[in-house]
Amino acid sequence: MNVVLLVLLCLLAAVVFIQLGAMVEMFRHVQQIRTHLDLVDRPLPLDLGARQGAQPSAIGLPAVLDGAQTAMVLFLSNTCATCRSIAAALRGAVPQTLWVVVEPVFNDDADLFVEEFALQNERVLVDQESRIAGQLGLDITPSAIFIQDGRIERAQTVPSSRQLFSVLPVVRPLSPSHG
């Protein structure tokens, strides 16, 4: 009887081994399909050209950003689905290091967009006639530019709220010195 049980145990171990291997294969397969279909939540770098290193005020952003140590300017359009999901994820609160520029597309409902997602905040702007985006050469949303020491450092797409929160600059207050 014991030997029968041990044989069953061996068979069970073999089945578990094969099942786990099959699961790994299946997951890799799904990953491959997603990559092939471009269904991947992955930010893409955007080329800023000559605007890289420029002061934010030079492209029409608020002059206060010229003195910002680190900040992120997020460009959302009022019609793109991902932009709406990102705006919803903010839940009406704009983090300290984040500025939002709303791009009105096709209509002038940008104010409605701001109202819908409770984004009434001093760090939320409406880019009438897409002047700022035009200056930057940005033609896709949602995207973001990053400001470091008062200069535009780089730009990238923001394909999801997960990516937004993962790249959002964090400001850590200086702790008081002891002693």
Task: Give the interface with other proteins as residue ranges (CB under 8 A).
Answer: 2-3, 6-7, 9-10, 12-14, 16-18, 20-25, 27-28, 30-31, 34, 38-41, 44, 77, 79-85, 88-89, 103, 105-106, 130, 133, 138-143, 157-163
> What's the closest the beta carbon of residue 158 comes to other proteins, in angstroms?
8
Least distance CB 22 / other proteins (angstroms): 6
Estimate to the nearest angstrom the gap between the alpha carbon of 41 and the chain centroid: 9
Residue 66 CB partners (closer than 8 Å, separation 6+): 55, 56, 57, 150
Distance CA 67, CA 61 (A): 12
Shortest reach from residue 9's CB to other proteins, in Å? 5
Least Å distance between CB 127 and other proteins? 9
Closest CB to other proteins among 56 and 142? 142
**Smallest separation, CB 63 to other proteins (Å):** 24
How many whole angstroms separate alpha carbon 57 and alpha carbon 25?
A: 51
Write the secondary structure of 4-29 as one string of H (helix), E (strand) and C (coil): HHHHHHHHHHHHHHHHHHHHHHHHHH
Q: Nearer to other proteins by C-beta: 29 or 63?
A: 29
User: Of the candidates 46, 43, 50, 45, which has an alpha carbon nearest to the alpha carbon of residue 151?
Assistant: 50
Q: Among residues 75, 76, 59, which one has the least CA distance to residue 151?
A: 59
- In this complex, which beta carbon is closest to other proteins, that of residue 68 or of residue 99? 99
In the bound state with other proteins, the residue whose beta carbon lies nearer, of 13 and 171, is 13
Q: Find the farthest-apart pair of alpha carbons in the chain and give their distance in angstroms, rounded.
A: 84
CB nearer to other proteins: pick between 60 and 159: 159
